Amino acid sequence: MFSLKLHWLPVSGFDTPSHWVLPTVALGLGQLAVIARYTRSSVLETIRSDYVRTARAKGLGQRVIISRHVLKNALIPVVTILGPILANIGTGSFFIESLYSVPGMGKFFVTSMTGRDYNMIMAVILIYGVFLGTMNLIVDLIYGLADPRIRYD
């Protein structure tokens, strides 16, 4: 709609920042909805906790309660899904790169699949596997920053 009917954005390519808009939105919009849903449900669950009621009873302001008590505890489940979501964005680029003619590993992977280049297929799968493991490691390290009760001894 934005490229063919309204002519606001180019259909394919990767030359200028206007070429980056459609692939970026297509790749990230669904994942953003998942993060928003998890954040909302986690905040609603946390806001009903006893320590939030206690903070309100002590007379703390709503902004302080949300920033210090609610968000800090509600972000743990969100951080849990960030690793797989970031890896999904990286590995979901196969289709987006092919659809929007973006040069990248996903496009090379699709080309190697059609050309039966098994060495390239194995290399890309290995790189994406390392990427997924790295994302999970980063998420585990962020747990320690988000919640000081989590220790890695």
> Is residue 10 a part of any domain in this protein?
no
Q: Is residue 129 part of a domain?
A: yes
Q: pLDDT tens-digit profile of 9-31?
A: 777 667 777 777 888 888 888 88
Question: Is the Cβ–Cβ distance between 110 and 92 less than 8 Å?
Answer: no
Is 122 part of any domain?
A: yes
The parent domain of residue 89 ranges over 17-146
- List, for residues 77-103, the tens digit of each pLDDT value: 888 888 888 877 877 677 787 777 777
pLDDT at 144: 79
- Number of domains comprising the chain: 1
3-state secondary structure at position 83: helix
Half-sphere exposure of 5 (CA within 13 A, CB side): 2
Tell me, yes or no, whether 11 lies in a domain: no
Residue 153 maps to a domain = no
Q: What is the pTM of this model?
A: 0.74
**Domain assignment present for 7:** no
Would you say residue 31 lies in a domain?
yes
Residue-level length of the chain: 153
pLDDT for position 3: 65
Residue 2 inside a domain? The answer is no
What pLDDT is recorded for position 82? 85
pLDDT beyond 90 at 41: yes
Tens digits of residue pLDDT in 104-128: 777 778 888 889 889 988 988 898 8
Angle at the Cα of 57 (from 55 to 58), degrees rounded to 5? Answer: 65
